[in-house]
């Protein structure tokens, strides 16, 4: 059985990364932006796993990195949601355009 080439997987992860990037730039809703950040993180995870499998089949560092990133992403989501709640309390909205007071 022939293996899926590495480039295919990298295409998927790159696509995922830029979809996330696009969402981060275009969405004004804070929660959607958080989801976009998660997409970016996951694209990185895919890269780690793929490189680990294809380049260093005997090693485990890539997998461990992935696990750490998943854990940190969970923590980050908790912090982000707390921020969003505070944002909502202050501005009655979670639109980032409304929260632009920290400027010149």
Partner 1 sequence: MPNAAYIVLIPLLPLVGFVLLGLFGKKFFRKSSGIIGTGLVLVSAALAIWVAYGYFFEWGTDGASLKVLDMRWLAFSGGLSIDMNIVLQPLPVIMIVVVSFISLMVHLFSLGYMKGEPRFATYYAYLGLFTFSMLGLVLAGNLFEIYIFWELVGCSSYLLIGFYYDRPTAVAAAKKAFIVTRFADLGFLVGILILSFQGRTLDMDNLLQTLFSPAFQASGVSFLGMSVVAWGATLVFIGGAGKSALFPLHIWLPDAMEGPTPVSALIHAATMVVAGVYLVARLYLLYALNGVVPQILLYTGAFSALLAAIIACTQTDIKRVLAYSTMSQIGYMMFALGTFRPAGTDFLGYTASIFHLFTHAFFKALLFLCAGVIIHRVHSNEMKDMGGLRKAMPLTHICFLVACLAISGIPPFSGFFSKEEILLAAWRANKFVYAMGLFTSGLTAFYMFRLYFAVFWHRPVTDGHRHPMPLFESIPLVILALGAAFAGFIPFSRFILPGAPERAGGGIGVFSIAPVGIALVGIGIAAWLYRKESDRPQRVATSMRGLYTFAYHKFYIDEVYLFVTKKIIFNLVGRPAAWIDRNIVDGLMNGMAATTARISAGIKGVQSGKVQDYTWFFFIGIAGLAVIFIYIYT
The number of helices, as runs of H, and strands, as runs of E, in the chain is 3, 0
Distances (CA, A) of 49 to 2, 13, 25, 28: 19, 11, 27, 32
Among 2, 57, 89, 103, binds partner 1 (CB under 8 A): 103
For 48, residues 6+ apart whose C-beta sits below 8 A from its C-beta are 62, 63, 65, 66, 69
What does the per-residue mask of binding to partner 1 show for 27-56, with x meaning CB under 8 A?
-x----x-----------------------
Among 10, 21, 46, 69, binds partner 1 (CB under 8 A): 21
Size of the site for partner 1 (CB under 8 A): 13
Instruction: Kindly state whether residue 99 participates in binding partner 1, applying the rule CB under 8 A.
Output: yes
CB 57 within 8 A of CB 13: no
Contacting range for partner 1; rule: CB under 8 A; set: 22-30, 42-50, 52-60, 63-71 = 22-30
Among 25, 75, 89, 92, binds partner 1 (CB under 8 A): 25
Q: Enumerate binding residues for partner 1 (CB under 8 A).
A: 21, 24-25, 28, 33, 96-97, 99-104
């Amino acid at each position: 059985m022939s293996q899926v080439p590495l480039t295919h997987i990298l295409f998927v992860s790159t696509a995922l990364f830029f979809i996330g990037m696009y969402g981060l730039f275009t969405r004004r809703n804070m929660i959607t932006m958080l989801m976009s950040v998660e997409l970016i993180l996951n694209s990185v995870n895919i890269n780690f796993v793929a490189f680990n499998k294809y380049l260093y089949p005997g090693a485990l560092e890539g997998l461990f990195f992935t696990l750490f990133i998943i854990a940190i992403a969970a923590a980050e989501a908790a912090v982000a949601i707390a921020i969003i709640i505070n944002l909502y309390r202050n501005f009655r909205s979670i639109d980032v355009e409304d929260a632009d007071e920290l400027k010149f």
